[in-house]
Structure 1
């Protein structure tokens, strides 16, 4: 990309933090709260309502690589601006929906625009534009970490006050504001010169066969499986241990503070640590946490170890997913590479809740589930170690 101008890191931080907070908060966070009122009003089955959402996730994964290629070749302005505006229009369309086919189509289109403007693409823009990728990504995650905290009560209040259709219309207006913010943020974005190839080295297909890419793909896919699996099953798993409900909710809620603590420590460490070393620590914390969960079904102390290790590892891996991958694989052509990493994690994200539910049913309880998660946690660590042992793929992520 041209070295002229570019977006200042401070602008990237405020712009991406705000627009990603709103983007995720309007599209994804309200969905569980909308299922019941949509089913009640329209008489649709929850299988249909949830299936449409799942189809949107699949569409986002399939569109991730084409979106990344477009970003590398043409820059972010057209891609992200169109995606953010499209998300606002589709949310407004959802507020008017009456037919199940239209509802399914809207979620599939939302998946496509998500690939154009939400996390994977946004972080690829940060990698391309930021002077200090790690510091910028870490700062953004401080803000986006509060997405659920902000939008769950906000969405619930809007539904209570305006009904689900009115609530979605307000969310669409908020997304329209995020679209305007994206346009402003990307005014100075670098645009590749016409006729200049993005990368002089191997093409994307060859890069996908490199040990470094394969290791990161294994690491992030296993991490995605654990994250989605625990998101769906952690509270019922803890309830099955016959602890008081307040204890169960406190353990589940402690994940967020552990994430924030880890990110604050990384921010404070600055350039004294490399993203490789951060990735080693984060990826190894995951299996330790899962083993603590598996070996201490009646131990609050071991459960606290689980929360601390999983929360800190999860919080750091979100940053490693961008800054660490850029340090290992290089920053050139990162849009397509990031898109490929996102696409690979779709299947484990979608499969994890169902597979853990089937294991629970077969075992008549959650007993073997933490042991499976511990095995997957070893894949997180093993994949990152394989990737990190390879030579640098390009310019450091600084």
Structure 2
């Protein structure tokens, strides 16, 4: 009863609120463009590449603002920052429906980039750490577990709205959800409490060290590089995977079925970590995730793209990304402590968001210039480089 009361009236309601707003924010800002862009580009007479360039501008803007957004959350809390970000996203989506000129269209994505930087996982992690201090890992795990359902909500909702309202009506509907649901929840329902001092973590292998490391030098550089490599692999492959499988001889229905395994695998992996109460050190979680990624790419590259192998690849790669998201929130907390966490995680996210924006175009160009096989082998190399970075990090002993 006490826990239920805390989830409704106490600080614990931050988990309930952010679980809802993360599903909606990811399902509105990240997943729909791949379905909406062909309609938008065709209506304006633009190329699909130019349409997607707007999305890339949004990601780059998000990367540039991430440290600043994190610092603002450290100082003022997620209520103000995350609700303002949702309103900026709503405005950007509405303006997209009337932006017929290319410069205006790209300018709208600047606003949406502000929303990305202030409503997705990194600001949510910063908000939870501000509220719960060094014990925030379990809350972070739960929010990422819930957020894994964003694709389950976002893609079907986008498909339904496109069929009934068109792309403009879809954007207006999503803007209304951001303005009337996400912004009020973040602004008024998130608790405003602040951990007065770093709270003691549950006794486990992931307890915080008494003297956290400073977010600088080689440990910080290696951490940033490892997560950036993971971002590049994730963005580049997921944006081109379905087409690559079709070129490998699989029919469209089978390819779509394989693609649907990615989301549930993410959720399942996060659920395992949640049920084990986060007993495994996040550095080992990150190492295991990139090792599993390398194995998945090797299986697809050297065994071949049969339906069974492709399904195993989607499950393994999805599970790896699922726990890597947890590690991205928990590892900086363990290494650098809760003080100034928002700015630190923003600094870590910035290069990753930059490469996430570039990766789809780089991978598509590599496929055209070389081959699908070469891209898969590059994925193995990238995962092994990320593993090398994580292995070189020596976190302070708890």
Normalization by structure 1: what TM-score? 0.86
Q: How does 1:183-198 map to 2 (within 5 A)?
A: 183-190=187-194
Deviation at 1:275, TM superposition (A): 2.3
Measure the CA separation in 2 of the matches of 1:306 and 1:117: 30
Q: 1:79 to 1:43 in 2, by over 3 A?
A: same
2:169 to 166, 177, 188: 166
State the partner residue of 2:227: 220
Contact 1:158 / 1:166 at 8 angstroms: preserved in 2?
yes
Structure 1 pair 47/263, CA: closer, same or farther in 2 (3 Å)? closer
The partner residue of 2:141 within 138, 143, 156 is 138
- Quote the residue 1:62 is aligned against: 64
Q: Deviations over 1:3-59 (max 9, x none)?
A: xx9994531211111111112222232222322332333333333322222111111
Q: Which SS does the other structure have where 2:138 is aligned?
A: helix
Aligned equivalents of 1:325 and 1:8: distance in 2? 26
Measure, in 2, the Cα distance between the counterparts of 1:160 and 1:371. 39
Matched, 1:254 2:261: yes
Greater Cα shift, 305-314 or 9-18:
305-314
Where does structure 1 lack aligned partners over 5 or more consecutive residues? 194-200
Q: For residues 360 and 262 of structure 1, do their structure 2 counterparts lie closer, same or farther at Cα, with a shift above 3 Å needed? A: same
Identify if the C-alpha distance between structure 1 residues 166 and 306 changes in structure 2 by more than 3 Å, giving closer, same or farther: closer
Q: Distance in 2 between matches of 1:287 and 1:322?
A: 22
- Change in CA separation of 1:332 and 1:367 when aligned onto 2, cut-off 3 Å: same
Q: Distance in 2 between matches of 1:391 and 1:302?
A: 39
2:27 aligned to which of 25, 28, 31:
25
Which among 344, 368, 373 is matched to residue 367 of structure 1?
A: 373
* Distance 1:44-1:129 versus aligned 2 partners, 3 A rule: same
Q: Are 2:132 and 2:195, in contact at CA under 8 Å, matched by a contact in 1?
A: no
Report the CA distance shift for 1:156/1:304 in structure 2 as closer, same or farther (over 3 A). Answer: closer
In 2, Cα distance between equivalents of 1:327 and 1:8: 25
- 1:391 and 1:38 mapped to 2: Cα distance? 50
Equivalent-residue separation in structure 1 for 2:335 and 2:156 (angstroms): 39
Residues 1:110 and 1:272: Cα distance change in structure 2 (over 3 Å): closer
Q: Contact 1:127/1:323 (CA < 8 Å) preserved in 2?
A: no
Shift of 1:156: 2.1
Query: How many residues matched?
Result: 377
* Larger deviation, residues 92-101 vs 175-184: 92-101
SS of the aligned residue for 2:74 comes to helix
- CA distance in structure 1 between the aligned counterparts of 2:251 and 2:171, rounded to whole angstroms: 36
Deviations 1:118-142 (A, max 9, x none): 2211111112223642321222122
Q: Is the 8 A contact 1:87 1:175 kept in 2?
A: yes
Query: In structure 1, what is the equivalent of residue 359 of structure 2?
Result: 352
Q: Cα offset for 1:293? A: 2.0
2:205 matched residue in structure 1: none
Residues of 2 paired with 1:59 and 1:189: CA distance?
30
Cα distance change, pair 45–288 in 1 and its aligned pair in 2 (3 A):
closer
CA contact under 8 A between 1:211 and 1:390: conserved in structure 2? no
Aligned: 1:336 with 2:340: no
**Following TM superposition, by how much is the alpha carbon of 1:339 offset from its aligned partner in structure 2, in angstroms?**
0.6
> Is 2:396 aligned against 1:391?
yes
Could you tell me whether the CA contact under 8 Å between 2:162 and 2:170 is conserved in 1?
yes
Distance 1:130 1:115 in 2: 21
RMSD (Å) for aligned C-alpha atoms:
2.7
Contact in 1 for aligned 2:303/2:309 (Cα 8 Å): yes
Separation of aligned partners in 1, 2:317 and 2:124: 25
Asked if 1:379 is matched to 2:382, the reply is no
The two structures have a TM-score, normalised by structure 2, of 0.86
What does 1:43-192 correspond to in 2, within 5 Å?
43-130=45-132, 132-176=135-179, 177-190=181-194
Distance 1:73 1:113 in 2: 19
Separation of aligned partners in 1, 2:248 and 2:49: 29
